A and B are shown apart, each in its own frame.
Chain A
Amino acid sequence: MKIKFFHIAPAVLLILAAACKKDNYDAPTSTLRGALLYKGDSIGVEYNQVPFNVFQPGYGKSGGAITGTFAPDGTYSILVFDGNYQFTMPKNQGPFLWKELTASARDTLKVGLQGSQTVNIEVTPYYMVRNQQLTVSGGKVVAAFDIEKVITDAALAKNIQTVVLYINKTKFVSGASNDNIASASVAGTALPADLKNISLNVTIPAISPTQNYVFARVGVRITGVEDMIFSPLKKLTF
């Protein structure tokens, strides 16, 4: 029998054209983004260490969360479908207080997402690094800064364990082993009582391959809190 190509070709075309059209969802396009803020000042955290949860109620299910982590500068962003979401922080995460409703329920931030939206998260940190000045002199990074004790209520306030100046080759600067090339610290007990005019300096080690800049920021470790709070990052060229 002779094979009739003019019959087969349209059939193949039909198969190719018909598949994969309506059986897939479009990928989500709405971005929910924002930053951790205290009265407009950004709160720095450690990369990949401070998680947040976004719940979408409904659909007969509860409990499952979209989980993400904050960037070092305290920003976050997730790509999701439009809908109603509730943003919250897991218990004991982050160097700040989060409002508790009851012993087992935490306050949530309701977000009705229609297209991309910026939602900043206003929180109350235990401490803030203020008036930070980072400079390079004589092969050293010198930091001068004040610390503001934000939470002073005796029941909630916590002491400073250590204050650390970290420097790194890249923008990822924290206490994690690969996130700093050098650091200098001062114990909380050695700080001046008014927490003003604190100074730290650290020698810049040899960097391979050579680069003429480092990134630096100051971190405050608070007694009994897992996550450190960081000052804004600064690029220092020398």
Chain B
Amino acid sequence: MKKIYILTLAALLFSGSCKNDDKFLTIEPTTILSNDVVFSDPILVTAVLGNLYNRIVDFTGLDNDWRSFVDFSEAFPSENAQYGIVQRTGWAFSEWQTWDYTYIRELNLFIERVNAAAALTAADKKQFVAEARFLRAHYYFELVKRMGGVPIVTTTLEYDFSGSVANLQKPRNKESEVYDFVIAECEAIKGSLAATSNQKTRASAGAALAMECRAALYAASIAKYGVNTPTVTLAGNEVGIPSSMANAYYTTSLKAAREIISGSAGTYKLYQALPNLSDNFAQLFLDKSNGNQEVIFVEDFKVGSGRTHNFTVNDQPFSQSEEGQDAGRLNPSLNLVQAYEKLDNTFAPIATKDGSGAFVYYTDPLDAFAGRDARLAGTVLLPNTFFKSKKLDIWAGYQLANGTVLTSGNASDQKPLPGTTTPVQVVGDDGPVNGLEFRTQTGFYIRKYLDPTEGSGRRGRQSDVWFVRYRFGEVLLNAAEASMELGDYVAASAYINQVRSRAGLTTPITLTAANGFDRIVHERRVELVFEGHTLFDMKRWRLAHQVWDGTRIATVADLTSNLAAANKRNTNPWGLWPYKYYDPGNPNNGKWIFKETIPSNATGASRFQLGNYYSQITDAVLGANPKIIRQPNQ
């Protein structure tokens, strides 16, 4: 009897289960949003797109470590652990490499899913796809700048479980094909993006055109100047662009620039809001209002949102640090400072000695930099200038009449002057002292991007100054360069003079075949320094191996000669240290003198090898895909 019960129960049990298994086991996850859900709502799609925007690769970035600004002898790193940057003699072939095909796949996936989404409106789809294509072109541009020709993958690749991955292994495209791809993508999407200068944080028509303009210019100059480095090529043109293509690229670049200048992509113009031209130039990077119509495309930050950066924490002047010992890391070099022209369009080093070799005495340290390009004081904090309504205290000691220097290792370490007994401060609060980190060791602090807002130098708050990726000033210089290379010196002069007059250089210059190239190279250096252009400009002009040739700038004469030349050597950073002259009774007592100085930690001399022109493709990539060929010279 009992058995029957058990059997019946068991039968019941078995018949009862396995009934609606499908329904029972298929539960919508509560912690993951499915693709169908995400791609049915424009707000959720925007969130995905936001992630893709955040992954844009920049060479320098405010949230990308202060060290990204410091290389190439344009600055000196004032932090004990980072002197290696100025002590090394060159760069590894692996430097600057990038190969993030995960990002490209996710961009392709995004485009495919948006296109396939049924619930999105056609207008939303067009907008999202255009933005994703912009980001994809942006990353391919970054890839081609660093790696040369790379495989262009525009669809998601799937493994077919056949045991062979040969169909997924793509060979490298030609370098020119990658540039063509970037240019074509920009042309294709510009009509789908907002044509207004108010859209700065997301892709706009102006951003697409600015990228096209820059990419075409890079391709053109590689084609034109590649002849200077005949060994930096590959037989299949995976690296190197034939010189016959140069003019077409210059024309494309000029056309894109003119489209922005004409206003068809939104109203863009140079930022001219403040009467003081140096303050105006600094404010260009700080003004986040719609009134700033120079800025085209940025990486934005916002205090309190979790997206902030510590550029100001790291680089604020030491005497005004809001975070105690956290300050003063990025010190612009004298190499850069002396590159800013005088207002009469001539080049001259900062005068420290007169014709007979005696010191030049200045009543105010700032007088040494007077009468120069306003961008100097807009980019660099000079000795005795204001930051946040307080003057910087930069001086290296007392120069005594007997030729010796009275100084100490720290501003807090006081010493009596000769003939007195009361100890006084003998070195500036802001440096410079060799090896004393977080104060300047070159005599200068950075001003570009430095946030004067109260609290922006605190680690807890940080700064939300945005990073400018594309701006109208660069577009004008691109137009000037493309016009110059195409032989239209009148137009080229008109474009470059717009940028120069904004900086106070109101006497127009005339570009000619003789001076055009040097002038363009110089203008881009002083206008765009610390904006991530230095390396790529020097690479595309094939000047890198001449400018960073491994020969040390050992003497002041080496440093101060040949200032106007495009291939001016720039292998190690120099500083310019102010001293107070002490000789009671002498009319020069209390005045200032300057000495050119190599910071004692800057022992290296950069050498750019031919193998550095294109970063190494890692062995992991080469090993996984036999169709990828190695870079030249590596």
Contacts and interface: CB of A to CB of B under 8 A. Distances in A.
Contacts of B572: 177
B623 A91 contact: no
A139 interface: no
B622 A64 contact: yes
A96 B545 CA distance: 20
Contacts of B231: 91-92, 224, 226
Interface string A73-108: 000000000000000001111000000000110000
Interface string B622-634: 1111101110111
B498 interface: no
Given A63-B619, A104-B235, A226-B610, A177 B632 contact: no
Given A61-B623, A177-B605, A178-B89, A90 B550 contact: no
B551 A175 contact: yes
Contacts of B605: 176-178
B97 interface: no
Interface in B564-604: 571-572, 603-604
A22 to B, nearest CB: 27
B609 interface: yes
Contacts of A175: 550-551
Interface in B208-235: 230-231, 234-235
B607 interface: yes
Interface in A96-151: 103-104
A90 B634 contact: yes
A87 to B, nearest CB: 15
A141 to B, nearest CB: 19
B550 A177 contact: yes
A91 B230 CA distance: 12
A232 interface: no
A49 B607 CA distance: 10
A65 interface: yes
A177 B551 contact: yes
B455 interface: no
Contact of B622 (A63, A176, A224): A63
Nearest to A102: B235
A93 B633 CA distance: 6
Contacts of A210: none
A187 B216 CA distance: 39
Chain B interface SS verdict (over half) = loop
A226 B89 CA distance: 16
A93 B89 CA distance: 18
Contact of A177 (B552, B610, B611): B552
B218 to A, nearest CB: 23
A208 interface: no
Interface string A38-81: 00000000000101000000000111110000000000000000
Interface in A211-238: 224, 226
Interface residues of A, number: 19
B12 interface: no
A177 B604 contact: yes
B620 interface: yes
Interface in B535-576: 550-552, 554, 571-572
A64 B604 CA distance: 31
Given A90-B611, A226-B633, A104 B552 contact: no
B84 interface: no
Given A93-B633, A226-B610, A177 B623 contact: no
A49 B619 contact: no
A45 B178 CA distance: 37
A169 B494 CA distance: 54
B236 interface: yes
Contacts of B236: 104
Contacts of B626: 62-63
Nearest to B572: A177
A51 B634 contact: yes
A61 B628 CA distance: 12
B619 A177 contact: no
Nearest to A103: B235
A157 B3 CA distance: 103
A99 to B, nearest CB: 16
A226 B232 CA distance: 11
Nearest to A90: B634
Given A90-B633, A226-B610, A177 B628 contact: no
Interface in A159-184: 175-178
Nearest to B629: A104
A92 B550 contact: no
B550 to A, nearest CB: 6
B632 to A, nearest CB: 6
Contact of A64 (B89, B230, B571, B623): B623
A104 B628 CA distance: 12
A177 B571 contact: yes
Contacts of A92: 231, 610, 632-633
A177 B571 CA distance: 10
Contacts of A49: 609
Contacts of B624: 61, 63
A224 B235 contact: no
Given A91-B633, A178-B603, A64 B609 contact: no
Contacts of A62: 622-623, 626
Contacts of B89: 176-178
A176 B634 contact: no
Contacts of B632: 91-92
Contacts of A65: 619, 622
A91 B622 CA distance: 16
Contacts of A93: 611, 633
Contact of A176 (B230, B607, B610): B607
B562 to A, nearest CB: 18
B567 to A, nearest CB: 16
Contacts of A176: 89, 550, 605, 607
Looking at A63, A64, A65, A176, the one whose CB has the most chain B CB atoms below 10 A away is: A63
A178 B606 CA distance: 11
Closest 7 CB pairs of A and B: A63-B622, A64-B619, A177-B605, A177-B552, A61-B623, A92-B231, A64-B623
Given A92-B632, A177-B552, A178-B605, 6 more contacts: A49-B609, A90-B634, A93-B611, A176-B550, A177-B551, A226-B633
Interface of A: 49, 51, 61-65, 90-93, 103-104, 175-178, 224, 226
25 contacts: A61-B623, A61-B624, A62-B622, A62-B626, A63-B619, A63-B621, A63-B628, A65-B619, A90-B633, A90-B634, A92-B632, A175-B550, A176-B89, A176-B550, A177-B89, A177-B550, A177-B554, A177-B571, A177-B572, A178-B604, A178-B605, A224-B230, A224-B231, A226-B609, A226-B610
